[in-house]
Structure 1
Amino acid sequence: MERVFFEMVKYYSGDPHQIQHFTKVHDYARMIGVGEKVDCNTMEILEIAAIMHDIGIKPAMEKYGIGNGKLQESEGPPVARRMLENLEFSQEIIERVCYLIGHHHTYKNIDEIDYQILVEADFLVNIHEDKMNETSIKSVLEKVFRTNTGKEYCRAMFGV
């Protein structure tokens, strides 16, 4: 995990906002994963995906001048794949992490617990960073959050 983290710090060198963002998403993903008692393999995939989830912002900004969610999903997996291959992760881990990166702004058809937790962890950070109002927070809590641990964190953090 430390190798992935450091590679992402280097990748976003000079952009402390992005580094702080993925650090927080990783921490929440890990805590939700622990609370939901995910197995070790799932936790490894979840943690890597949480650290790398926004890797597509940089190439999207370079190519299109914007880094919206859909562009992050399309531009991120190829960059993540190269980085993970260089770090010598297994194909199984690379495929799942790339899938999660390529879907982390898609909130329908969430297929596994790692995907659900990644979405929830990202929302916990984005709710604060985007200064969402109480009505929006309640809506996200109702429509997106599914894990008991994620719901507990959201309610406790934002008082909803």
Structure 2
Amino acid sequence: MLKNKLIKELEQYFADDQKRIQHALKVTDYAEKLIKAFKEKYPDKNINEQVIIYTAVLHDIGIKNSEVKYGSSSGHYQEIEGPPVARKIMKSHNIDFETMDEVAEIIAHHHTPGKVSSNNFKLLYDADWLVNLPEVYNLNKKNTTEKENLIEKIFLTSTGKKIARKEFLNNY
């Protein structure tokens, strides 16, 4: 797997922007946990680990161009700007076209659940929210019922919900 090479590309691309680099690394760590748990729970369901990991590393790669072109890091702009940058990086590592297409498709919709219905998308989406949820919703100011409602509303897989409950219901 080319995960480490993609991480190096990400680090070079974002240079001194440690916040963005660390976010991608955390999403990648959660993606790996979700893959493992999903495969244990659903051994018959088909997922592509490479697609999920590559997407986790590169999912926010469009943010830099979004800020330059639109003056915004809005998810909508990331979905527009991310796929071409991700494709260029993946192409430089000779990643096959089928994998590139799926990674680009997920990046193009990673802030818009429902547009892509694959388990690969759902696991990436949940990994991103495992990182974003505490900050976006100020979890330290929510009671248990509010946190549970957010988890039910946001996460797309039972695996993601289980990890979110473990991470957030007792720790915040």
Same fold, judged at TM 0.5 (above): yes
Greater shift in the superposed pair: 11-20 or 105-114: 105-114
Matched, 1:15 2:17: yes
Out of 123, 126, 132, the residue aligned to residue 129 of structure 2 is 123
Q: Amino acid of the residue matched to residue 27 of structure 2?
A: V
Aligned equivalents of 2:147, 2:11: Cα separation in 1? 29
Matched, 1:159 2:152: no
Can you give the 5+ residue segments of structure 2 that lack an aligned partner in the other structure? Answer: none
Out of 66, 81, 84, the residue aligned to residue 78 of structure 1 is 84
Q: 1:12 to 1:136 in 2, by over 3 A?
A: farther
Shift of 1:109: 4.1
Shift of 1:146: 3.2
- Same amino acid, percent of matched pairs: 35
Shift of 1:121: 0.6
Can you give the 5+ residue segments of structure 1 that lack an aligned partner in the other structure? Answer: none
Aligned equivalents of 1:6, 1:143: Cα separation in 2? 34
1:125-144 matches, within 5 Å, as 125-133=131-139, 134=142, 137-144=147-154
Equivalenced residues, count: 160
**What is the TM-score of this pair, normalised by structure 1?**
0.92
SS state at 1:36 partner: helix
Pair member with larger Rg: 2
CA RMSD of aligned residues (A): 1.9
Is 1:127–1:137's contact at 8 Å kept on the other side of the alignment?
Answer: no
**What is the TM-score of this pair, normalised by structure 2?**
0.86
Shift of 1:131: 4.9
Aligned equivalents of 1:136, 1:72: Cα separation in 2? 29
Q: 1:8 to 1:65 in 2, by over 3 A?
A: same
SS state at 2:33 partner: helix
Greater shift in the superposed pair: 126-135 or 86-95: 126-135
Matched, 1:56 2:39: no
